[in-house]
Amino acid sequence: MSTRVEIPADTSAAAKGTAPLIAVSGHGKGGYKRGLAIFDVVLRLGAVAATLAAAAIMGTSDQTLPFFTQFFQFEASYDDLPTFQFFVIAMAIVSGYLVLSLPFSIVAIIRPRATGPRLLLIILDTVALTLNMAAAGAATAIVYLAHNGNSGANWLAICNQFGDFCQKSSGAVVASFIAAVVLLVLIVISALALRKH
């Protein structure tokens, strides 16, 4: 018992050109962009923590020396210096921006090939980095003067007397520089995600 199957032989040129092709779906490209987007969200959460810590530490940095009289009280507080006030406000603004940018970063996970959210993030991250560095640089100068003073201008170092105040303000400045590095990495990630290939 044998079964015979007949296949019609269509030898026209049109029939030969319609063979189904195996299409590559491009999951590799979308995969690495999705991975960058997930890393972006994690870094944004880290930057939120760093900027919030910087603002909170600087905002609570004050110290009153234990010896004071009825007429004189020696106190150091962040709101005595406009530079530190600017620092707290700038860190709060950057932290608020980073929280508000999280939905756009999540959109980049869902749609890794979308360029609109990435372009918006790279522009606004650059503005946030600029504000962060301006505040960190200004606060660094004041912290340096608090630690070392300036003999040419007869400014005395106050950290010998106000040790807790100087430790807190130095910690806030370090946290702001950590946030600046994270923002810089976020900008690089967005630039890599915007690449065509």
pLDDT of residue 25: 46
> Distance between CA atoms of 98 and 189, rounded to whole angstroms?
15
**What are the tens digits of pLDDT across the range 41-59?**
999 999 999 999 999 998 8
Q: How confident is the model at residue 67 (pLDDT cuts 50, 70, 90)?
A: low
Return the H-helix or E-strand segment holding 196. Answer: none
Residue 85: is it exposed, middle or buried by C-beta count within 10 angstroms (0-12/13-18/19+)?
A: middle
pTM of the model: 0.76
Other residues' Cβ atoms within 10 Å of the Cβ of residue 23:
6
Q: How confident is the model at residue 26 (pLDDT cuts 50, 70, 90)?
A: very low
CA distances from residue 51 to 68, 81, 113, 172 in whole angstroms, order as listed: 35, 19, 29, 9
> Distance between CA atoms of 63 and 152, rounded to whole angstroms?
27
Token pair for residue 75? Answer: 């106190």
pLDDT surpassing 80 at residue 2 = no
pLDDT of residue 21: 47
Q: How confident is the model at residue 181 (pLDDT cuts 50, 70, 90)?
A: very high
Q: How confident is the model at residue 23 (pLDDT cuts 50, 70, 90)?
A: very low
**What are the tens digits of pLDDT across the range 121-180?**
999 999 999 999 999 999 999 888 888 877 777 777 777 777 787 888 899 999 999 999
pLDDT of residue 147: 81
Q: DSSP labels for 57-89?
A: HHHT-EEE-S---SS---EEEGGGSHHHHHHHH
